[in-house]
Structure 1
Amino acid sequence: MTTESPPDRNGLATYERFMATVRRACASPEGRATLRQGLADNLENPWPLYMHLMPAGGIPVRKDTPPHAQRQAELPFLMTAALYAVHDAPNPRAGDKPLAVRQPVPAKQWENLGWSLARAAGTGMRRETAIGLLSHLCELDHDALIAELPATISLLRSNRVPVKWPVLLRDLIRYQRWAPDVRIDWARAYTMPVRPKETSK
């Protein structure tokens, strides 16, 4: 199942819809466990993830994506789904609240990795560490970023720093072809003054 998914800077509707798909896939213990295992396997054996994501709504890649490029185009979706399953998905086995009553606050387009690292620097992480981590991420190519992202997200979430999944997904897609633009957006978000009504989740 495919839909149009232009990697635009501000539009998040497609990515919000995909995260709803991920939440549906994680609503069953098997779906959540499978997506979590995908991260443990470094996405080297992704077909089980497809078995849960496709029935839940599919992976939206551009309809004009050539077949030979489809797997690469879908990689950011699989990575984001697996990261969400590990760090934020409610656990059906533990009796967590039903997903229908746990809808997230819609993300803002500037709530990217730079924004998350700025929150981290304001809640315990040394500023030099946050800046160093952001600088390191911005020096990576797309494949290296995908490889290093799990450790970064784990660090942020273990410190209760929010990660806005639709924004992360959008940026991973854009990073494949427009990495300099994404890096500038992250730098701008890091240096942006904290808004008084920003939520923690």
Structure 2
Amino acid sequence: MAERMPFQFEDRFAQALAELAQRDDRAALAALRRGLGKPPGTAPEMFPYVVPLLPSNPSWRLERACYLVASLFALHPLGWEGDERGRRLTNLGASFALLAQRSSNREGVTRRFLHLLLAHEDELGEHLRHAIGLLRSHAVPVDWGRLLRDIQGWSHDDLRVQRQWARAYYDTLGSGEEGTVSGS
């Protein structure tokens, strides 16, 4: 597993979202949820919470990913604990593996996960909304900073993100222990 640089933009963005949840700022979370299923910038209620967190000239890809992650976070503001993030893979593949371990329908979870991996970038937001809803229903954490990074790299030609998620999913399932990656 590659060492992560602490306090990268994506982690700071996720931390700022987590602080809204820790303060139990229901109005802010409701405003962010209004962006679910909408293109970036079309839910002005999100602006006061997202715009101040963005760099001065964000790329279209980064801005789009930030709005998507903010709306998804507001739907399910549960993240991996800091010590868990250091000990294991915490990408969305690992979250789905934890869901599969907790579920009575592991095959169904695997099908949903594989369907997510095949999502085209234009459909990714909708697929993630359903995936996050499923994770929420089983109180499975999400590494929001990592998800923000991964969304930005989703369309890379080598399918790096999809391969990393698949590796985390199957390695975690193969370990036999809830949420632990085999070989670690």
Q: Are 2:101 and 2:178, in contact at CA under 8 Å, matched by a contact in 1?
A: no
State the Cα deviation string for residues 78-131 of structure 1 (Å, max 9, x = none).
111111112127xxxxxxxxxxxx994253472112111111111124221122
Moved more, 28-37 or 148-157: 28-37
Q: Does 1:161 align with 2:158?
A: no
The answer for the alignment partner of 1:131 in structure 2 is 110
SS of aligned partner of 1:153 = helix
146, 167, 170: which one aligns with 1:188: 167
What residue in structure 2 maps to residue 19 of structure 1? 14
- Please give the alpha-carbon distance, in whole angstroms, between the structure 2 residues aligned to 1:71 and 1:25: 25
Gaps of 5+ in 2: none
Closer/same/farther in 2, CA of residues 179 and 171 from structure 1, 3 Å limit: farther
Matched residue type, 2:170: T
Identity among equivalent positions (%) equals 27
Q: Is the 8 A contact 1:22 1:53 kept in 2?
A: no
Alpha carbons 1:43, 1:78 under 8 Å: kept: yes
Find the aligned partners of 1:71 and 1:163 in 2 and give their Cα distance. Answer: 24
Deviations 1:170-198 (A, max 9, x none): 11111133561111101110111448695
Partner of 2:72: 83
Give every structure 1 segment of 4 or more consecutive aligned residues whose post-TM-superposition deviation is greater than 6 Å.
none
After TM superposition, the structure 1 = structure 2 runs for residues 24-39 of structure 1, keeping only pairs within 5 Å, are 24-25=19-20, 27=23, 28-39=25-36
Structure 1: state its 5+ residue gaps: 1-7, 90-101
TM-score w.r.t. length of structure 1: 0.70
| Aligned length, in residue pairs | 172
Aligned to 1:105: 82
What is the SS of the residue equivalent to 1:176? coil
